[in-house]
């Protein structure tokens, strides 16, 4: 179903746009301080970051495929543990954007000024781009339909590249603050969904291993709307809700509480940073 590619498109667009604009800011600042010869190091760092992101994504893909062949509880345990580690990394990215979203141009220019050398700029560009690429790979790794998700990512990155080029060339004017705020809110919702998914898979793995009794209170569903229009896999309302806000139609009580606590905490923290700004 093509709708399954929409989350990938949004993530690809958001992270791709940020990466391309960061590179554009670095290149523009080097022109401003009359150091155009160093621009080639930034460009090389961008390509290195892209390559590193692809390699990171392929490693995740291979490990997931091997875990899938092991089947059953092993696969569920890998999905749970890896999703939780991915959540930690993504949460640090979200926190960074909350802190630096309003001052990102000045912060990047200051960083360029501190690392004004061939190797320093190469490393800075590599890290900046690979951070965004790693975030894309981590979201793709936790997608249910990875193929459609990746197609969405590619489309999103292409759109971001075109828009970033037009913005940097001053051919179009867009309110980037609005775009980044909307997509940052979306990332918080998706990260929370990833946390809920990690908990669900962990409980399912414990059940498969026999470490958790099927009658355990931890496995009690808060509600079960499977087979209805709110089914997150097949429901006419459940699918778009799953895409937009991370809706899950049959969550365990603990899964629901933790997932929505993350959402609440994320938006409260974000509002505090906005008030400080």
**HEC per residue, 16-45:** HHHHHHHHHHHHHHHHHCCCHHHHHHHHHH
Report the mean per-residue pLDDT for the chain: 86
What are the boundaries of each domain within the chain? 2-276
Q: What is the pTM of this model?
A: 0.80
Whether the per-residue pLDDT at 36 is higher than 70: the answer is: yes
Q: How far apart are CA 169 and CA 182, in angstroms?
A: 24
> How confident is the model over 163-179, as pLDDT tens digits?
888 887 777 777 767 77
Q: How far apart are CA 55 and CA 134, in angstroms?
A: 10
Reading the block at residue 139, the tokens are: 């979201």
Q: How far apart are CA 77 and CA 198, in angstroms?
A: 9
Which residue did the predictor score with more confidence, 242 or 104? Answer: 242
> How confident is the model over 66-89, as pLDDT tens digits?
877 766 778 888 888 888 988 998
Cβ–Cβ < 8 Å for 63, 146 = no
């Amino acid at each position: 179903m093509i709708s399954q590619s929409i989350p990938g498109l949004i993530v690809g667009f958001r992270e791709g746009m940020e990466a391309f604009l960061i590179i554009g800011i670095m290149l523009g600042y080097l022109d401003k301080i009359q150091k155009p010869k160093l621009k080639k190091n930034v460009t090389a760092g961008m390509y290195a970051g892209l390559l590193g992101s692809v390699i990171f994504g392929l490693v995740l893909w291979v490990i997931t495929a091997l875990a899938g062949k092991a089947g059953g509880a092993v696969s569920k345990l890998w999905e749970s543990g890896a999703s939780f580690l991915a959540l930690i990394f993504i949460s640090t990215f979200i926190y960074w954007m909350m802190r630096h979203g309003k001052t990102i141009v000045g912060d990047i220019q200051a960083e360029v000024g501190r690392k004004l050398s061939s190797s320093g700029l190469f490393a800075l560009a590599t890290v900046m781009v690979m951070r965004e690429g790693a975030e894309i790979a981590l979201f793709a790794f936790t997608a249910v339909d990875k193929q459609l998700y990746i197609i969405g990512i590619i489309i999103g990155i292409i759109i971001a590249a075109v828009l970033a080029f037009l913005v940097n060339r001053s051919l179009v004017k867009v309110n980037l603050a609005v775009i980044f705020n909307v997509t940052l809110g979306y990332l918080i919702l998706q990260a929370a969904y990833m946390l809920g998914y990690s908990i669900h898979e962990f409980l399912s793995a414990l059940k498969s291993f026999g470490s958790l009794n099927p009658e355990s209170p931890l496995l009690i569903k808060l509600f079960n709307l499977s087979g209805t229009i709110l089914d997150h896999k097949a429901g006419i309302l459940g699918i778009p809700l799953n895409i937009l806000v991370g809706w899950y139609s049959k969550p365990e009580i603990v899964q629901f509480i933790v997932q929505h606590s993350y959402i609440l905490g994320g938006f409260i923290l974000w509002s505090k940073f906005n008030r400080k700004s």
